[in-house]
Structure 1
Amino acid sequence: MSLIVIGLNHTTAPVEIREKLAFNSKDTVRKALKELITEEGIKEAVILSTCNRVEIYAYISAFCSNEGGQRKSSEEIIINFLANFHKIEKRNFEKFLYIYHDREAVEHLFKVASSLDSMIVGEPQITGQVKEAYDLALAERTTSLILNHLMNKALFTAKRVRNETRIGENPVSVSYAAVGLIKKVFDELSKKTILLIGAGEMAELALRHLIGGGVGNVYITNRTFERAEELAKEFEGVAVPFEKLNEHLVKADIVICSTGAPHYVITAKMLREIMPLRKYKPLFLIDIAVPRNIDPACNDLDNVYLYNIDDLQDVVDSNILERKKEASKALRIIQEETEKFFQWINSLESVPLIVSIRSKAEQIRQEEMEKFKSRFKDLSPEVLSSIEYLTQSITNKIMHHPTVALKNNCEDKEMLIYSARRLFGIDDEEE
C-alpha cells in the first residue's frame, strides 16, 4: 500500500504561502495533473485546491530513481513538482507542509471531505470541492482503481457523516446564526420583506444567507445612496433613500442594521409610532453594529424581536460546542469507513493468487473431463452436460473456503498467502 497526501492548509500556512501554491482555475489543475502524472513513481493523482488548502493525493511507488541513478522518494518528487510548477523555492514553503501515508492519508481525506478539518467544522462546501477535484482528475484520467475507490469512499463517508450526525445543523457564523433565529420566528420566508440598513460586511452576509433561504422582497438603505444602489443591483433589491426609513420600517418583516453611526438609528419611540401602522405584525430586528444602532428598549415592545451581536455570538458559541460533540460521532464513522477501505485494499493483495488457484483447479477439472470423455465415448450429450455441471459444482465448493479465507482481512495475511502458494503449488510466474 502506497498512498500519500502532501499539503498545507489554514492551520499550517499563512495566506501568502497558500496563495503562492494555489491552483487557481480548473485549467491550471488540469495542466498540473497532466504534468504530475508523468513524474516517475506517480501512478494516480488528485489535486484539491481551495482558499483554505492545497493538497495532492497520490498512489505512488515508494522509491524512484532520478537520472543520476540515486533513489528519490515520492515525497521529494511531489514537493519538487510543487516548487517547479509554481516557480517557488522549496525552502519558502516546505516547513508548512504536512505529509501523511497510507492509513493516516485515508483518515485525513475522510476528515477533509466530512468537514472535520475545515476552518468552520461542518461547513458543507468542502464536500463539493472534493467531488469537483475528483471529477477533474477522473476526466484527465489521472486516477484508476485505488484513487477511484478512495475518492468515492470519501464522498460516501461525508454523506454518512452528514446524514448520521447533526454536525452541519447549528450555524457557527454570526450572520448565519441570525438567519437561523429568523427562521424560528418565520416559517415561510418567501413572502417576507427584508430591509437592510447600512452596508456592513456581516449584515451583507446575513442578507446573502436570507436570500439563499428564499426571502422575498429586499429593500436597502444607506446614508450614501450610491452604495445602497450598488447592493440593490447585486441582490436584485430596491434602493430607498435613508430619509424614508420610517416608511419602509412599516413594510419590513426583517430589519438588519449595520451602520457606522455612533447613535441609535432605530429607537423605541419610533417603533411605538410604527407598530400600530403595521397592525402589530411581528418585526425581527438584527443589530450587528458596534456601537449598537438599535435601542435595546425596542425589545420590550410587543411583537418586536431584537438581537444584537452579543446575542448572536452566544448562539454561535453554543453551536460550536454542539458541533464539537457531533464531531466525535463523525470520527467514529470515519474510523469505520477507513477500516472498510483497508479491508478492500487487503483483499486486492490476494486477488491474483485466488485467480491463479481457481485457474489451476479449472485446468485440472478440464483435463480430467477430457480423459473421462475419451474413455466413455458413447455417453449422450445430456449425460456429459450433467457430469460437466457436477464437476464444476465440486470444484467451486472445494475452492469456496480457501477463497473466503484469502479475501478476509487478518493479522497473518502474508503468512496465509505464502502458505496458499505452497499448498496449491503456485509460483510467481503463474500468479
Structure 2
Amino acid sequence: MGQFRLLSFSTNLYNLKSDAFYLDWDECKQLMQNMKSWREVNELLILSIPERTEIIYYSEVDLEDKIFDALSDCKKIGLPLKSEFQQTSDEEKLLVYLSELCFGVQASNYGTTPLFPSFIQAYELASQNEMVGEYLGQWWENLISTNKLIKKHVDYQLPNFSITYTVSDLVTDLSKKLKTPKIAIMGFNSLSKRIFKNLTCKGFKNITIVDKSIAPFSSLSKAELNNFIFEPISEVENVIKDNDILISTLEDAQQSLQLSYFQKDFNTMKILIDLSIKSNLTSILNKISQVIPFNLTDIYKIIEQKMEINKKWMRKAKPIISEKNLEFFQWIDTKKSQEMVTVANELLGESIHNNQYSKVLISEEPYSNLEIDDNRINTLLLKKSIAKIKSNTQYKDIINYNKMVNDFYQYN
C-alpha cells in the first residue's frame, strides 16, 4: 500500500553553498519528467526556492537514493552530502510540516518565506505532467480551503520577516519615494543572490552587481542573467556615484567601501543598506548628510515589529491549519481503510490447501456466505492476509487492519 514520502533540504543563510539543492524552473521540469517515468511513483510534487527544496511523492517504496541521483543529473555539479537531505516517511508528520511551511507557521522557517504562491506553481507543474492523483489532489483541495478560511477569519496577511524579504520590501518602499531609482548590490553571495532574486520577482530591472569575479553568476537563470549589469570591485566608487540604493553584503565593507567614496557632491541622496555582520560603516556614514545608512540592527528592528504583528496572526491562523489538517488525516484514514477492505477481499478469496473460500468482507457490514469450520485453516488464512498487508503498509494501518479483521470474525 502506498504512502506519502518527503525529501527535504533547507539552507543556511550565510552558507555560500547553501542553495546547491535549488532547482530553477527548467531543472524542476527535468526532474519531474524523469520521475514521471518511474513506475514506483504514483503522484509527485516538486517545490524549490533558494531557501529550500521539497519533493513529496506517493509510492509504495522508499526512493531516496534514486531521487538523489536524479537530482545530481539535473544539477550537473557537486552536491552537498546526501545526509543533509532529510527523508520523512511519517505521513502525518510530513503533511503537517508542509502545510505549516505553506502558510508560514512552521517553526524551522517561521515567517521567513511565503510559500503558498510557490506551492501553487509546483502543483500546476505536477498537474500538467499528470502526476496529481486522488491523494495529492485531495491534499491540495485541503490547502485551498485552508487558505480561504484563513482569509475569512484573519483580517490581515502574514508579514514576512526574513532578512532577504525585509530588505526587498524596504527597497520597494524606498523606491516609491525616488524617481526611477537605480539599484546596486555590492558583493554576490548566498544572501545577496536571494535579495537579487526577490527584487527581480518584484519587477526591478537592470540591477548593478559588484563582485570580484563574474564566476558566481553562472548559477543564475537566463532571465536573471539578462537583468543585471556586472561591475568589478575596482569600479565600486563609480557604482556608488551612479546608483541611488546601494545594498552591501561585503564582509570587508570598510576596506572596499572607503569613506571618501561617499564624501562627494552627489546629485541625489544615497541610501546604503549594509548587511555585513562585523561592519560599523553606517555609524561613520551617519555624519554625511547626503547618505541615509541602514545596517543589520535596523533590519532586525523592522523584523521585530513585523513579528509582533505576526504573533496575533499566528494565534488565529494556526488553529485553523491544525483543524484542516485533522480533516485531511480523517479522509486519508477512511480512504486507506477502504483500500484495505478491497485487499482483504482478494486475500480472503485465495485458495489455501487447494480449498477455495469465498469469505467476503465489506466496509459497512461484514458477513460471510460460507461457514468455515476448520479453525486451523481459518487461522492460516488470517495470518497470510495480515502478513501481506504488513509488508506494504504503515504501523497505524496495520492496527486498523487488525481491528477490521477482528471485528469481521467477531460478527461471523
* Aligned with 1:304 (options 279, 284, 291): 291
- Give 1:193 deviation, angstroms: 1.6
**Sequence identity, in percent?**
16
| TM alignment of 1:246-285, pairs within 5 A | 249-259=240-250, 260=252, 262-263=254-255, 265-267=257-259, 271=262, 273-274=264-265, 277-278=266-267, 281-285=268-272
Q: d(CA) in 1 for partners of 2:187 and 2:150?
A: 39
Match of 1:46? 44
Match of 1:191? 180
* Aligned with 2:90 (options 100, 104, 115): 100
Quick check: 2:185–2:247 contact (8 Å CA) kept in 1? yes
Matched, 1:337 2:335: no
Q: d(CA) in 2 for partners of 1:298 and 1:85?
A: 50
| TM alignment of 1:63-78, pairs within 5 A | 74=60, 78=61
Cα deviation code 1:12-39 (max 9, x no counterpart) = 9xx99x97xxxx643443443453458x
Match of 1:399? none
Match of 2:38? 35
Cα deviation code 1:193-248 (max 9, x no counterpart) = 224445455445434434443446644556x58789999965333748846826x5
Distance 1:234 1:35, change over 3 A: closer
Q: d(CA) in 2 for partners of 1:225 and 1:27?
A: 29
- Give 1:110 deviation, angstroms: 2.6
| TM alignment of 1:3-14, pairs within 5 A | 4-10=3-9
Cα deviation code 1:34-77 (max 9, x no counterpart) = 53458xxxxx533446474555443x8xxxxxxxxxxxxx5xxx
Cα deviation code 1:348-399 (max 9, x no counterpart) = 99x9xxxxxxxxxxxxxxxxxxxxxxxxxxxxxxxxxxxxxxxxxxxxxxxx
- Give 1:4 deviation, angstroms: 3.5
Distance 1:142 1:188, change over 3 A: same
- Give 1:119 deviation, angstroms: 5.1
Q: d(CA) in 1 for partners of 2:119 and 2:236?
A: 47
- Give 1:133 deviation, angstroms: 4.7
Q: d(CA) in 1 for partners of 2:241 and 2:67?
A: 58
Q: d(CA) in 2 for partners of 1:343 and 1:229?
A: 47
Counterpart of 2:159, as a letter, is E
Question: Which SS does the other structure have where 1:289 is aligned?
Answer: coil
> How many residues get paired?
313
Match of 2:237? 245
* Aligned with 1:236 (options 225, 228, 241): 228
Q: d(CA) in 2 for partners of 1:57 and 1:250?
A: 51
Quick check: 1:30–1:137 contact (8 Å CA) kept in 2? no
Cα deviation code 1:256-288 (max 9, x no counterpart) = 234435537343x764542xx42xx43211123
- Give 1:121 deviation, angstroms: 3.4
Cα deviation code 1:127-172 (max 9, x no counterpart) = 3554455445545545444432222322443465578476642331
Question: Which SS does the other structure have where 1:5 is aligned?
Answer: strand
Question: Which SS does the other structure have where 1:292 is aligned?
Answer: coil
Quick check: 2:28–2:46 contact (8 Å CA) kept in 1? no
Quick check: 2:236–2:257 contact (8 Å CA) kept in 1? no
- Give 1:3 deviation, angstroms: 7.8
Distance 1:201 1:86, change over 3 A: closer
Counterpart of 1:309, as a letter, is L
Matched, 1:153 2:156: no
Distance 1:37 1:136, change over 3 A: farther
Q: With the length of structure 2 as denominator, give the TM-score of the two structures.
A: 0.55
Q: With the length of structure 1 as denominator, give the TM-score of the two structures.
A: 0.53
Question: Which SS does the other structure have where 1:310 is aligned?
Answer: helix
Quick check: 1:116–1:327 contact (8 Å CA) kept in 2? yes
Quick check: 1:286–1:307 contact (8 Å CA) kept in 2? yes
Question: Which SS does the other structure have where 1:35 is aligned?
Answer: coil
Q: d(CA) in 1 for partners of 2:215 and 2:68?
A: 38
Counterpart of 1:120, as a letter, is N
Cα deviation code 1:165-196 (max 9, x no counterpart) = 766423312x4323333344442567112244
Distance 1:327 1:4, change over 3 A: farther
Counterpart of 2:320, as a letter, is I
Question: Which SS does the other structure have where 1:45 is aligned?
Answer: strand
Distance 1:26 1:244, change over 3 A: closer
Matched, 1:170 2:160: yes
Q: d(CA) in 2 for partners of 1:187 and 1:258?
A: 23
Quick check: 2:184–2:207 contact (8 Å CA) kept in 1? yes
